[in-house]
Amino acid sequence: MAIPDYQTIMLPLLKLAADQKEHAINDVSEQLEDKFDLSEADKKQFLPSGRQRVFRNRVGWARVYLVKAELLESTRRGFFRITERGLKLLAEKPKGINYKLLLEKYPEFEAFWKAPTGPIPTAQTATTETVSVETPEETLEYAYQRIRQNLAQDLLTLVMESSPSFFEKLVVQLLVKMGYGGSIKDAGEAVGGTADGGIDGIIKEDRLGLDVIYIQAKRWQGTVDRTEVHKFAGALQGQRAKKGIFITTSRFSNGALDYLKTIETKIIPIDGGELAQLMIDYDIGVTPTARYETKRIDSDYFAEE
10 Å Cβ neighbour count for 285?
Answer: 17
Q: Which of these CATH numbers, 3.40.50.720, 3.40.50.11780, 3.40.50.300, 3.40.1340.10, describes 153-281?
A: 3.40.1340.10
With a CB cutoff of 8 Å and minimum separation 6, the contacts of 67 are 73, 74, 80
Q: Which amino acid is at 200?
A: D
Residue 250 per-residue DSSP state: S
Who's near 146: CB < 8 A, 6+ residues apart?
A: none
User: How large is the angle between the packed helices 107-114 and 54-68, nearest 10 degrees?
Assistant: 120
Look up residue 58 and give its amino acid: R
pLDDT at position 116, please? 53
Which phi and psi angles does 199 have, rounded to 5°?
-135, 145
For the segment 21-37, what is each residue's pLDDT rounded down to a tens digit?
999 999 999 999 999 99
Listed in order, strand segments (DSSP E) in the chain are 23-24, 72-76, 79-82, 191-193, 199-204, 212-218, 243-248, 266-270
Distance CA 246, CA 301 (A): 49
CA 202/CA 229 separation, integer angstroms: 17
Q: What is the pLDDT of residue 143?
A: 82
Give residue 280's pLDDT: 94
Amino acid 300: pLDDT: 67
Say if residues 177 and 283 touch (Cβ distance below 8 Å).
yes
Can you say how many angstroms the Cα of residue 64 is from the centroid of all Cα atoms in its chain? 23
pTM of the model: 0.67
Nearest to 68 by CA among 104, 102, 101, 98: 102
pLDDT means over runs of 10, the chain (305 residues): 89 96 94 94 88 90 92 91 96 92 90 65 42 77 84 90 83 86 67 50 74 84 90 86 89 94 92 94 89 75 66
Three-state DSSP state, 134: coil
d(CA 146, CA 159): 20
